[in-house]
A and B are shown apart, each in its own frame.
Chain A
């Protein structure tokens, strides 16, 4: 049936590649199954430097998180967190502030189960099974309510996840609803896939093809389209830019693989 009631549990189908496990494979992890690796290999064949994008994505996320901690934010909501491998938000955060709270959110039951195992015994990090497409399911989740005080600033991380939502998912409405739930002083961190300059390259198209086989197709958005997500936020310098250009630790060099330009990053501050 197409209109499965919201309270009915989703089925587990590990014969379909999962975005988070493919990503794990890109990052050299083994939290994946052959079906994931098969999909990943096709994508790698098209764009061998994909893992670099993933790495750059993680790096910019780390920089943004450090920025948020620097602002005094001690609550983190990471939606679309996937398989926790290494360098996760809570690891970065807790190095800087061991008392800060981190809530991960994912709709992939396997990713959720794995996160549960990894986070077991951690008093300051938890995982909520919810779907970004239904922001209330995220905000009203018991774990969210237990760990986060939405009357105080929160760092909302939508890292490499919005490109899996179509406009028909009311993606701007979703971000707007989350924004409205945030207290002033909160920050929004977004990274997003974007087409290479000019029309979408054949390589990118092949990668999109790979994601089309997963349960979550990939949708590229342009800089103005990504900027629109920051409606209601003050977009911090340097704005929406390629991953490696967002407040880099070392200046980006011309030797960087141009594929790194296919990821955008931006951070906004809610007034």
Chain B
């Protein structure tokens, strides 16, 4: 606020001026809109009051000098018209009283001047108020205009952004009215479907494709158009203009007007054609056999499960049929002609099997090497299933021509048919598998129909394999001993330990029936160790009974799997240690085939066992390659001649060729310091021939079948006697 710069000589005048300003302020302040305090307002009025006084007192009176006073009041926001009477009224009543009359100014002149001053103040007030009003009106209009322009350009920018999103989006966008008339489509949608004209040609609801279920989205779209739902989401196939199919992930949204009424529908389409194709391809790969293209084991089980589950529906009298086909002699083809030929044969067989399917509820799958299976999901009767099996056998009756070479193919089929109450897929397949083996046992190239009693009796590889571990735990195995006889004097030299399985259902099983299974699962390792322990303990018992002469030797078979087991040497040593059996009383039999191709590392365990003093016998000699030269460096001390060499010696006269061969082998073995044992001696004639040929020991029914340890005991005693 302006300071009052009165000189001391003017103090009295200043005082009266201030009093005038105070009276003036008190009158005007209530009708102003100013945010000043009353004191500030009075300070603001002071210079205006001074102008009034100075104008009033001027030597040359010019009322226009008071115009700025009116302007100053407007500037102080005394803009209410109600303020004017107060402003002028105070001037009229108090200005002359406090600030006049001046130097020799007549009172009347003073009054006249005061009146004219008021006119001038009013002029200034009105003028300033008009200017201010016009200015403020203009400035607020300009502000409104600016705001509008800004809003519009912001809107335009946002629309441009939207347009850019719409045009360049990777998803297809289409806008239609509620009747489905297409109003706008973007570039991506045009690309997806073909052309804009092609899209506009039809209504949104007219897009149908045979791959869609009937009325896929009709209901949803009606609900949307009625405003009952705001959006829905579907996967749908569309025909492209070129006739191909577009699969799209579609999101349809309802657009409403400002009042909330349904107005448009907006569809967003994501092209998932490739993704679907890929998924289908992956699914096909996962469910089909790569070699033959037939459905694989996974798909077969999926379909079988489904067939079984629908069969289980309450009240449904549904049946299933399964034909389990195993090619006869396929292994021979693979072994003799190689896997490439075997594969081509399988492909040819698969093609023929495919042709055997006559209805959609039949499925042929390849579930293993040469194992195929045909599923008949809902056969009318057993005859329909056996017809299918018959067609399969018929299809295989003509040899397959590979490189102009005819390869005969036959198969054995196990059929399962019937109402399937509560049977699992694995159970059904096992039953078909067992039945197929029955067909094989009856010579192959035929089918058999499953019968629950036969199933129960059938010994399945599957079942035995699973039961092996618990059988070992439950002590279902036992060892029998077949005597080994010295040919020179007929004395019992020892015995070969042979393991048996006392199966709770199938009775006593021989090693042929379970040793291969034990080898394939690794169970042979614990089983072999158990047999070794049993046999060694038995040999130790015999020894303790103080036989005269050398203690009987015990022969124990060693599987190729055991041979590669890292603990073998330690286990053999431990068994010898625990039983106290002399190492020379133990002979481990290893088949010839187990040693073929074995390098020095593989032979190391055997050598170390031999180093312990344990004898090693080469079992089944003559059934494999019979590499005679290998005999020189293998750590073996006994040659066990296969029974096939001696079949021709059962009668008299013996087969001369066989005699020559055996004579040669014996001579060679003796040269290499090996003893020769002959298996399968069944007649006295045979035994005599073999003794004559120089064989050392023999075993066979002629001397004694495998039996309990006591039997050997008796024989030994008899021998000693």
A28 touches B150 (CB 8 A): no
Residues of A near B137 (CB, < 8 A) are 30-31
Docked pose: A117 CA to B142 CA in angstroms: 9
Given contacts A9-B151, A109-B150, contact A14 B33 (CB under 8 A): no
Docked pose: A117 CA to B36 CA in angstroms: 24
Count of B interface residues, CB-CB < 8 Å = 31
A87 touches B35 (CB 8 A): yes
Residue from B33, B132, B150 within 8 A of A113 (CB atoms): B150
Given contacts A1-B256, A58-B35, contact A117 B146 (CB under 8 A): yes
Q: How far is the CB of B243 from chain A (nearest CB, A)?
A: 40
Q: How far is the CB of A226 from chain B (nearest CB, A)?
A: 22
A9 touches B158 (CB 8 A): yes
B139 touches A27 (CB 8 A): no
Docked pose: A22 CA to B256 CA in angstroms: 34
Residue from A26, A30, A59, A114 within 8 A of B143 (CB atoms): A114
**Looking across the interface, which residue of chain B has its beta carbon closest to that of A51?**
B33
Is B147 engaged at the interface, CB distance under 8 Å to the other chain?
Answer: yes
Docked pose: A110 CA to B148 CA in angstroms: 8
Residues of B near A117 (CB, < 8 A) are 139, 142-143, 146
Is B77 engaged at the interface, CB distance under 8 Å to the other chain?
Answer: yes
Is B362 engaged at the interface, CB distance under 8 Å to the other chain?
Answer: no
**Looking across the interface, which residue of chain B has its beta carbon closest to that of A21?**
B140
A95-133 interface code vs B (CB 8 A; 1 in, 0 out): 000000000000001111110111000000000000000
Is B467 engaged at the interface, CB distance under 8 Å to the other chain?
Answer: no
B146 touches A113 (CB 8 A): yes
Q: List A1-42 residues whose CB lies under 8 Å from chain B.
A: 1-2, 7-12, 14, 21, 26-33
**Looking across the interface, which residue of chain A has its beta carbon closest to that of B137?**
A30
Given contacts A7-B158, A110-B144, A117-B139, contact A250 B80 (CB under 8 A): no
Is B258 engaged at the interface, CB distance under 8 Å to the other chain?
Answer: yes
Q: How far is the CB of A165 from chain B (nearest CB, A)?
A: 22
B147-160 interface code vs A (CB 8 A; 1 in, 0 out): 11011001100100
Is B244 engaged at the interface, CB distance under 8 Å to the other chain?
Answer: no
Q: List A44-80 residues whose CB lies under 8 Å from chain B.
A: 51, 54-55, 58-59, 61-62
Residues of B near A8 (CB, < 8 A) are 154-155, 158
Q: Which residue, of A9, A11, A62, has the highest number of chain B Cβ atoms within 10 A?
A: A9
A32 touches B140 (CB 8 A): yes
**Looking across the interface, which residue of chain B has its beta carbon closest to that of A250?**
B38
Is B79 engaged at the interface, CB distance under 8 Å to the other chain?
Answer: yes
Residues of B near A62 (CB, < 8 A) are 35
Given contacts A86-B77, A117-B139, contact A30 B158 (CB under 8 A): no
Is A202 engaged at the interface, CB distance under 8 Å to the other chain?
Answer: no
B33 touches A30 (CB 8 A): no
Q: How far is the CB of A112 from chain B (nearest CB, A)?
A: 7
Residues of A near B132 (CB, < 8 A) are 30
Residues of B near A113 (CB, < 8 A) are 142-144, 146-147, 150
Is B39 engaged at the interface, CB distance under 8 Å to the other chain?
Answer: yes
Given contacts A7-B158, A31-B140, A55-B35, contact A12 B79 (CB under 8 A): no
Q: How far is the CB of A109 from chain B (nearest CB, A)?
A: 4
Residues of B near A112 (CB, < 8 A) are 147
Is A249 engaged at the interface, CB distance under 8 Å to the other chain?
Answer: yes
Docked pose: A172 CA to B146 CA in angstroms: 34
Is B133 engaged at the interface, CB distance under 8 Å to the other chain?
Answer: yes
Name B's interface SS.
Answer: helix
Docked pose: A112 CA to B144 CA in angstroms: 9
A28 touches B140 (CB 8 A): no
**Looking across the interface, which residue of chain B has its beta carbon closest to that of A5?**
B158
**Looking across the interface, which residue of chain A has its beta carbon closest to that of B148?**
A12
**Looking across the interface, which residue of chain B has its beta carbon closest to that of A88?**
B35
Is A210 engaged at the interface, CB distance under 8 Å to the other chain?
Answer: no
A10 touches B33 (CB 8 A): no
Docked pose: A58 CA to B32 CA in angstroms: 13
Docked pose: A213 CA to B207 CA in angstroms: 49
B139 touches A31 (CB 8 A): yes
Docked pose: A220 CA to B173 CA in angstroms: 48
**Looking across the interface, which residue of chain B has its beta carbon closest to that of A12?**
B148
Q: Which residue, of B136, B147, B155, has the highest number of chain A Cβ atoms within 10 A?
A: B147
A237-271 interface code vs B (CB 8 A; 1 in, 0 out): 00000000000011000000000000000000000
Is B8 engaged at the interface, CB distance under 8 Å to the other chain?
Answer: no
Docked pose: A12 CA to B140 CA in angstroms: 13
B136 touches A31 (CB 8 A): yes
B114-149 interface code vs A (CB 8 A; 1 in, 0 out): 000000000000000000110011011011101110
B133 touches A30 (CB 8 A): yes
Given contacts A28-B79, A31-B140, A117-B142, contact A110 B35 (CB under 8 A): no
Residues of B near A58 (CB, < 8 A) are 35
Residue from A1, A31, A83, A249 within 8 A of B37 (CB atoms): A249
Q: How far is the CB of B35 from chain A (nearest CB, A)?
A: 3
Is B626 engaged at the interface, CB distance under 8 Å to the other chain?
Answer: no
Residues of B near A31 (CB, < 8 A) are 136-137, 139-140, 143
**Looking across the interface, which residue of chain B has its beta carbon closest to that of A8?**
B158
**Looking across the interface, which residue of chain A has its beta carbon closest to that of B35?**
A87
**Looking across the interface, which residue of chain B has its beta carbon closest to that of A257?**
B30
Q: List B359-373 residues whose CB lies under 8 Å from chain A.
A: none
Q: Which residue, of A33, A114, A118, has the highest number of chain B Cβ atoms within 10 A?
A: A114
Residues of A near B154 (CB, < 8 A) are 8-9
**Looking across the interface, which residue of chain A has its beta carbon closest to that of B161?**
A7
B34 touches A55 (CB 8 A): yes
Given contacts A10-B151, A110-B143, A113-B150, contact A30 B136 (CB under 8 A): yes
**Looking across the interface, which residue of chain A has its beta carbon closest to that of B156?**
A9
Docked pose: A109 CA to B260 CA in angstroms: 26
Q: How far is the CB of B79 from chain A (nearest CB, A)?
A: 4
Docked pose: A10 CA to B36 CA in angstroms: 36
Q: Which residue, of B137, B143, B151, has the highest number of chain A Cβ atoms within 10 A?
A: B143
**Looking across the interface, which residue of chain A has its beta carbon closest to that of B257?**
A1
**Looking across the interface, which residue of chain B has its beta carbon closest to that of A112?**
B147
Q: Which residue, of A8, A32, A110, has the highest number of chain B Cβ atoms within 10 A?
A: A110
Residues of A near B39 (CB, < 8 A) are 249-250
Docked pose: A10 CA to B148 CA in angstroms: 10
Q: How far is the CB of B430 from chain A (nearest CB, A)?
A: 63
Q: How far is the CB of B74 from chain A (nearest CB, A)?
A: 10
Given contacts A31-B136, A31-B139, contact A12 B147 (CB under 8 A): yes
**Looking across the interface, which residue of chain B has its beta carbon closest to that of A27?**
B33
Residues of A near B140 (CB, < 8 A) are 21, 30-33, 83, 110, 114
Residues of A near B147 (CB, < 8 A) are 12, 109-110, 112-113
Residues of B near A30 (CB, < 8 A) are 132-133, 136-137, 140
Q: List B20-55 residues whose CB lies under 8 Å from chain A.
A: 32-39
**Looking across the interface, which residue of chain A has its beta carbon closest to that of B258?**
A1
**Looking across the interface, which residue of chain B has its beta carbon closest to that of A14?**
B144
A134-175 interface code vs B (CB 8 A; 1 in, 0 out): 000000000000000000000000000000000000000000
Q: List B554-569 residues whose CB lies under 8 Å from chain A.
A: none
Residues of B near A14 (CB, < 8 A) are 144
Residues of B near A28 (CB, < 8 A) are 33, 77, 79-80
**Looking across the interface, which residue of chain B has its beta carbon closest to that of A56?**
B35
Docked pose: A113 CA to B142 CA in angstroms: 8
Q: How far is the CB of B130 from chain A (nearest CB, A)?
A: 10
Q: List 9 A-B pairs, minimum CB-CB distance, nearest first.
A: A87-B35, A114-B143, A9-B154, A30-B136, A109-B147, A58-B35, A113-B143, A113-B147, A113-B146
User: 13 new A-B pairs (CB below 8 Å) besides A26-B33, A32-B140?
Assistant: A1-B258, A11-B155, A14-B144, A29-B33, A31-B143, A51-B33, A55-B33, A83-B140, A113-B142, A116-B146, A117-B139, A250-B37, A250-B39
21 contacts between A and B (CB under 8 A): A1-B256, A1-B258, A8-B155, A9-B150, A9-B155, A11-B155, A21-B140, A32-B140, A33-B140, A55-B33, A62-B35, A110-B147, A112-B147, A113-B142, A113-B147, A113-B150, A114-B139, A249-B37, A249-B39, A250-B37, A250-B39
- Using a CB–CB distance below 8 Å, which chain A residues touch chain B? 1-2, 7-12, 14, 21, 26-33, 51, 54-55, 58-59, 61-62, 83, 86-87, 109-114, 116-118, 249-250
